[in-house]
Amino acid sequence: ILFCILQGANEEKPRKRKLDKTRQDTLYFDSYSDNIESLRGKVVLDVGAGTGLLSVFCVQAGARKVYAVEACSIAEQAVKVVRQNSMEGRIDVIRGAVETVELPEAVDAIVSEWMGYALLHESMLNSVLYARDKWLKSGGLILPSRAELYIAPVADPVVEDRLQFWDTVKDQYGVDMTCMSDFARKCIMNSDIRVNSVTVEDVLAHPARFAELDLSSVSVEELRSVKGPFRCTSFGAAAVNAFCVYFTVTFPCADKPIVLSTSPFKAETHWKQALLYLDAPVDVVQDTVVAGTVSMYPSEDSIRHILWNNVVTCPYLHCSTDRCQ
Amino acid sequence: ILFCILQGANEEKPRKRKLDKTRQDTLYFDSYSDNIESLRGKVVLDVGAGTGLLSVFCVQAGARKVYAVEACSIAEQAVKVVRQNSMEGRIDVIRGAVETVELPEAVDAIVSEWMGYALLHESMLNSVLYARDKWLKSGGLILPSRAELYIAPVADPVVEDRLQFWDTVKDQYGVDMTCMSDFARKCIMNSDIRVNSVTVEDVLAHPARFAELDLSSVSVEELRSVKGPFRCTSFGAAAVNAFCVYFTVTFPCADKPIVLSTSPFKAETHWKQALLYLDAPVDVVQDTVVAGTVSMYPSEDSIRHILWNNVVTCPYLHCSTDRCQ
């Protein structure tokens, strides 16, 4: 997460990606520059400051003081960035976990780029909430202020390609490898959360929102089970073999909120989309209702099977089986 | 390595790759079918048999008996594949490390798909050589029988893009992040071996062969230091910021040897190419001689700097510094 805001610099092949990095950075930057009035003169805490860029943005947006808390050694780079931008007096880089560091004062606002894959997968949100409860003044600002989770049924051609491959070996080499298909499918089901770009053509229905987090009030306890119902209506005939989950986060602004969306219908971001595979594809036709309940929770268990029974289990951190027949 | 021979089935995005999987599989298959005379009636040991496909190829090539030794649980799939192809009498799947399993007899030939990235990076070659010394009859066949290592200077645009990114932040956001470039370069230098596809346009000279391994005679001891001189003449004016290393393996055949090449000038394979980055780019002009010595060795140390002083250090397993001024 450290580098997400500047993730364009950390990707393998910038030349070959479709990623509109500028858009994402700009969104983040706009959210702070457009919050000039709300940050002006304020004392700000940057949770997981990384290279310190967000802290610099806050000063540019008028913050009086920024505490840039960073647990990793990248904090040393943040110190250099602060110095290079002559902001030593305005930004204090504090190396340590936000749960244990001491600040000289309570803060008016908390900023952070805490989002993980599928929002909550290895996210820093718990640390942000801890910091909120400990250091944010009553009625203080938290940026972003809201997060929303969406789901949509998809037909991921990659999986079927991978499984079909085993059927082609016989024709090609005269070796019957069809028995590998089941094993390969189980490998896909049991693998860690899969993050990939879902192309628009593979999305089979308008995505449905199933959860919303108000970051000024949500508790760590509530994050242990983020769930909600969803209902989608399929565009046309297709085989659903997965669900994709993505998120938006919102920054309140004077005129209208700024929304950073990781939807497959928007420009690609670092977060792409999370994919949850079904045990087996399910055929739908036009206007088939695909509805159910999504449940996201942390789990030690890395096994996750999704059965087609109106229930989608989408755990974060790790994933666990919900064999509901 | 297990799945390399069928790696097309294990890649993330088969649709988006240029990989000519068929070519690679066919090479492997041809090497065994073209060795029909050499494998006919023979007893074969398949080291690291994986799904058992190579063992089946050997039976198709006329092998009398194949011992398919596999340490991982994928051995269970090999058992199914053997059964599905009605070869229970010809292939014995033996689960265990080749260093510890017992075979009922010595073998006439050893086959294996043991190659790692840059040939030796996490390769199974040591196990193959152990098996050779323990189970191969004197004068027995080992397939592939030879491996060669090549090197070429390259201009990898990805690295410079990544580093230049930090210079662009000031223009874009008014935040001076130029101090991050050094840090970012060090991150690239210190990262694990980088495997990526080098495009033909980025190769700055004809590759040079710097080492050759005769698999019938090379020892584990010799693998502790695989090195050799190289000499390239640059095509034209460019900035060298890395070297790429790749390999070929050869199967002896009645008419002419079959060569599996991982050269950037050939169709892409699973192995792509290994990249070794220089501490800083070096300008060359047409006919500049780029020469030196490559040294590959296993190391616990994950730090690897390559200085431009006619010496390229290309360790395998892990990489270590060779600061030769």
CATH of the domain at B43: 3.40.50.150
Final residue of a structural domain among A92, A125, A144? A144
Q: Quick check: is B57 in a domain?
A: yes
Q: Quick check: is A280 in a domain?
A: yes
User: Residues B304, B320: contact at Cβ < 8 Å?
Assistant: yes
Q: How far is CA B67 from CA A199, B24, B45, B82, in A?
A: 45, 24, 5, 12
Q: How far is CA B194 from CA A94, B239, B275, in A?
A: 33, 19, 5
Q: Nearest residue of B to residue A188 by CA position?
A: B10
Q: Quick check: is A258 in a domain?
A: yes
Q: What are the residues whose beta carbons fall under 8 Å from the beta carbon of B8, sequence distance 6 or more? A: A165, B14, B19, B21, B25
- Domain membership of residue A48 as a residue range: 10-144
Bigger pLDDT: A206 or A24? Answer: A206
User: Residues B2, B69: contact at Cβ < 8 Å?
Assistant: no
| Active-site residue identified among B37, B76, B99, B122 | B122
Q: Are residues B164 and B295 in the same domain?
A: yes
Residue B193 pLDDT: 67
Q: What is the ipTM of this complex?
A: 0.76
What are A's interface residues with B at a Cβ cutoff of 8 A? 6, 8-10, 12-15, 22, 25, 29, 51, 53, 56-57, 60, 77, 80-81, 84-85, 157-158, 161-162, 165-166, 169, 172-180, 183-184, 196
Share of chain B above pLDDT 90, in %: 51
Q: Quick check: is A267 in a domain?
A: yes
Cα gap B25→B5, rounded to integer Å: 6
Q: Are residues B140 and B176 in the same domain?
A: no
Cα gap B325→B308, rounded to integer Å: 8
Q: Are residues A126 and A228 in the same domain?
A: no
Q: Is the pLDDT of residue A323 over 60?
A: no
Cα gap B199→B157, rounded to integer Å: 10
Chain A residues with beta carbon closer than 8 angstroms to that of B85: 175-176
Q: What are the residues whose beta carbons fall under 8 Å from the beta carbon of B96, sequence distance 6 or more? A: B69, B71
User: Residues B264, B198: contact at Cβ < 8 Å?
Assistant: yes
Rounded to a whole number, what is the distance in Å from the CA of B218 to chain A's nearest CA? 32
Residue A269 pLDDT: 87
For B308, the 3-state DSSP assignment is coil
Chain B residues with beta carbon closer than 8 angstroms to that of A7: none
Q: Is the pLDDT of residue B323 over 60?
A: no
Q: Quick check: is A321 in a domain?
A: no
| Total domains, chain A | 2
Residue B118 pLDDT: 87
Confidence of residue B38 (pLDDT cuts 50, 70, 90): confident
CATH of the domain at A181: 2.70.160.11
Residue A73 pLDDT: 92
Q: Are residues A68 and A181 in the same domain?
A: no
Q: Are residues A177 and A297 in the same domain?
A: yes
Q: Are residues B186 and B305 in the same domain?
A: yes
Bigger pLDDT: B225 or A52? Answer: A52
Bigger pLDDT: B298 or B283? Answer: B283
Q: Is the pLDDT of residue A321 over 90?
A: no
Confidence of residue A254 (pLDDT cuts 50, 70, 90): confident
Tokens encoding B215:
């698999």
Write the pLDDT tens digit of every residue in A165-195: 888 888 888 899 999 988 888 777 766 668 8
Chain A residues with beta carbon closer than 8 angstroms to that of B170: none
* Subunit contact A162:B14, Cβ cutoff 8 A: yes
For B99-155, give the DSSP string: TT---SS-EEEEEE---BBTBTBT-SHHHHHHHHHHHEEEEEEEES-EEEEEEEEE-
Residue A302 pLDDT: 42
Q: Are residues B167 and B300 in the same domain?
A: yes
Residue A175: closest CA among B168, B277, B169, B59: B59
Cα gap B222→B213, rounded to integer Å: 9
Bigger pLDDT: B301 or B117? Answer: B117
Q: Are residues B216 and B92 in the same domain?
A: no
Q: Is the pLDDT of residue B88 over 90?
A: yes
Q: Quick check: is A238 in a domain?
A: yes
Q: What are the residues whose beta carbons fall under 8 Å from the beta carbon of A153, sequence distance 6 or more? A: A203, A204, A205, A232, A234, A240, A242, A243, A284, A290
Q: What are the residues whose beta carbons fall under 8 Å from the beta carbon of B161, sequence distance 6 or more? A: A14, A15
Cα gap B70→B80, rounded to integer Å: 14
Bigger pLDDT: A223 or A32? Answer: A223
Chain B residues with beta carbon closer than 8 angstroms to that of A175: 53, 56-57, 60, 81, 85
Q: Are residues B164 and B294 in the same domain?
A: yes
Tokens encoding B9:
């089935």
Final residue of a structural domain among A120, A144, A168? A144
Q: Are residues A184 and A250 in the same domain?
A: yes
Confidence of residue B27 (pLDDT cuts 50, 70, 90): low
Tokens 């002559």 belong to residue: A86
Q: Is B133 exposed, middle or buried (0-12, 13-18, 19+ CB in 10 A)?
A: exposed
Final residue of a structural domain among A127, A144, A161? A144
Lowest pLDDT segment from A278-282, B12-16, B96-100: B12-16
Q: Are residues A39 and A164 in the same domain?
A: no
Write the pLDDT tens digit of every residue in B131-163: 999 999 999 999 999 999 999 999 998 888 888
Q: Please, which residues bridge with residue B290 across strands? A: B232
**Shortest CB distance from A179 goes to which of B80, B162, B183?**
B80
Q: Quick check: is A320 in a domain?
A: no
Summarize the confidence of residues A251-274 as an average pLDDT.
Answer: 89
Tokens encoding A192:
């860690």
Summarize the confidence of residues B238-255 as an average pLDDT.
Answer: 89
Residue A314 pLDDT: 47
Q: DSSP class of residue B14? A: G
Residue A6 pLDDT: 34
Bigger pLDDT: A223 or B279? Answer: A223
Q: Are residues B184 and B211 in the same domain?
A: yes
Q: Quick check: is A324 in a domain?
A: no
